[in-house]
Amino acid sequence: MERASLTDISLYRPIPAAQVPAWDFETDVAIVGFGATGACAAIEAAGTGARVMLFERGSGSGGASALSGGEIYIGGGGGTDAQRAAGFQDSTEDFAAYLKAAGGPCADEAKCALYAREALGHYAWLKAQGVPYRGNYLPGKHIEPTDDSTLIWSGSEAAAPFCDIAKPAPRGHVIAHMGWGGGRPLVDVLEARARSLGVEVVCDARAVALVKDGERVVGVVVRIENQDRFVKAAKGVILCTGGFVFNEDMRRRYCPETLRLSSPIGDQDDGSGIELGVGAGGDAIHMEQYFSTCPWTMPEPQAYGVFVNEAGQRFINEDCYHGRVSRTALDQPGDRVYLLLDIAHFDQPLEMAGLTIAGTGDSWEEVEQELGMAAETLSATMAFYNAHAKEGRDPLFGKRTPILTALNQGPFVALELNFRTSYFSFFTLGGLRTSTDGEVLTREGKPVPGLFAAGRCTSGLPAWGHGYSSGLSLADCTFFGRQAGRKAGAA
C-alpha cells in the first residue's frame, strides 16, 4: 500500500485516519516523550491493563527531568514522614494556599486543590515505584541540596508575602542519590518500573503528527530512521514532550521577553507537543510565562546580599526563592541589576554564573560612584537597609533574619547580573490547557477525545514565573502524568 506522502505530515494539523496507509504499531495508549512525565503516565496506563507504547525522540529516557535536581514539591495532609520527623505538620489548606499563591494570576485552582489533597498519596506512590528517600531534613536555604537529604526548603514558603498566606513548611523532597543531580536517578527508577510493567519503549522516534478519526485522536505518526511510522492508539495519545524553550520562533510569538536571555535549559524542548495539541484542537494558555534563575545564592555567602536595580532601588525581599528574585530582577528597567555584598559576605562568584564585579569601594558611596549612579541612590538605599537590618526589620519588603543582615563591613562590592550575558537559565511554563485528568481541553473547555498531556507542554502547577519553586515542575510532571496515564488507560 502506498505511503502517505511526506508533505501531508505536519505538527500543525492531524492527518485523517483514512489517509493512514497501514498501522506500523498498534497499542492502546501511545505516549510521546520519555522524561518523568512520560514514565509516570506509562506506569499508570499500564496499571489499568492497557497496552502502552512510549516513543522518545532521543536515544533514551531523560528529557529535562534528568537535567533537574530531582526535587518534587510535596506536602499537606499533616505532612510527609520527612516533614513530620522535622517537626512540620503541613496542612492541606496551607499547602493548597501556597500552591495557589505560587500560581499567581495564572493559577489553576482545580489542579492546586487536587494536588494539595493527594500529594501524600503521590509520595507513597513514588516510593512504591522504588524512588528512595533517606527521610532526613536539611535546614537552611539551598539552591540544590549539598547532599541527598530528603527534605529541603525549595521555595518562598518562609518569605513575604507567602509566609503570611500559608504557614511555612519545607516541601522539596529529593531522591536519595549520589553526585550532583537527582533528576537522572529519578527517571531511571521510573523507567525501570515502566519497563517491568511491559511498557514498550521506542527511542529515536520523533512524533511528527497526530492522527484523527473525526473528532477523536486515534494515533500518532513517528519518524524512525527517516521513515514515517503510523501508531494506532486505541485509547489515546499522551503528549509529554516538554516546553518550547528551544523553539525561537515560538518564543518570538508567545514569550518574547526571553529573547534577550542566553541560557535556555531543557533537553529537546522545541514545543512540538504544544503544536501537535493545538493542531488537534487544544488550547494553549499562559504562553508568555517563563521560569528564570541566575545562581546568585552560590556561593552561599552571596545569599545575604542585597539587590538594587539601575536606579539604586531595592525591588524584592531577597530571602525569597532565588528564581523569584531573578525573575523579578528581569522586570526591572534597563538590562542589569546589582547584587551588593560586604567583605563579610563576599566570596569568589561562580564562574559559570557570569557575574562580574561592576564596582567596589570602601563605602557604599564609593560603590555608587563607581557604578556611575547619582549620589544618595544606592548609598541611601544601603543606609536605610542597614539601619533597619540591625533592628531585624525590612520595612520595604519584609525580608527576614538571618538572611536580613546589615552589610556594613567594608570593602564593599557590587556584582552585576546582566540580563544578556549572565547565566540566566530559563524554561517556558505556558502550554496546553488540560483538565485535572490530563485531558487536553479545547478553547471551549471540552476534552479533545483521545488526547492527553502533562508536564511542561501544559500549563500546570508552575503556571507563573514569579511564583516558581524548585520541585513544582516535577510535582506537576509526575502527578499529572499519572492522572493522564490513568485516564487514557481507562478510556
Shortest gap between Cβ of 359 and its own copies (angstroms)?
16
Q: Does 392 interact with its own copies (rule: CB under 8 A)?
A: no
Is residue 264 part of the contact set for its own copies (CB under 8 A)?
A: no
Among residues 22, 343, 374, 402, the one that binds its own copies under rule CB under 8 A: 374
Rounded to whole angstroms, how far apart are CA atoms 350 and 311?
26
Q: Does 376 bind its own copies (CB under 8 A)?
A: yes
Binding range to its own copies, per CB under 8 A, among 191-199, 345-353, 440-448, 472-480? 440-448
49, 140, 256, 402: residue in contact with its own copies (rule CB under 8 A) = 256
Residue 442 binding its own copies, by CB under 8 A = yes
Q: How far is CA 426 from CA 88, 125, 288, 456, 468, in A?
A: 31, 30, 12, 13, 12
Instruction: Report if residue 380 touches its own copies, rule: CB under 8 A.
Output: yes
DSSP 8-state code for residue 200 = E
Q: Does 165 bind its own copies (CB under 8 A)?
A: no
Among 138, 175, 261, 278, binds its own copies (CB under 8 A): 278
Contact status: 8 vs its own copies (CB under 8 A) = no
Cell of 414: 557590587
Q: Report the first-to-last Cα separation within the chain, whole angstroms.
A: 31
Distance CA(401)–CA(22), nearest Å, equals 66
DSSP single-letter state for residue 209: E
Sign of the CA dihedral running 195, 197, 198, 199: negative
| x/- track of binding to its own copies for residues 287-326 (CB under 8 A) | xx----------------------xxxx-x----------
In what helix (H) or strand (E) does residue 399 lie, and over which residues does it extend?
none
Q: Which three cell numbers stand for residue 83?
A: 516533614
Segment near its own copies (CB under 8 A), from 118-126, 170-178, 229-237, 246-254? 246-254
Q: Does 16 bind its own copies (CB under 8 A)?
A: no
Nearer Cβ to its own copies, position 120 or 337?
337
Q: Binding residue for its own copies (CB under 8 A) from 216, 397, 408, 490?
A: 397
248 lies in the site for its own copies, by CB under 8 A: no
Set of cell numbers at residue 116: 494539595
Q: Using N-to-C axis directions, what is the helix angle for 472-489 and 183-196, rounded to 10°?
A: 10
Dihedral class, residue 77 (left if φ above 0, else alpha if ψ from -120 to 50, else beta): left
CA 58/CA 345 separation, integer angstroms? 43
The verdict on 444 binding its own copies (CB under 8 A) reads yes
For residue 410, is it left (φ>0), alpha (ψ between -120 and 50) or beta? beta
Instruction: Give the binding site for its own copies (CB under 8 A).
Output: 10, 12-13, 105-106, 249, 253-254, 256-257, 259-260, 275, 278-279, 281, 283, 285-288, 311-314, 316, 331, 333, 373-374, 376-377, 380, 384, 388, 395-397, 433, 442-445
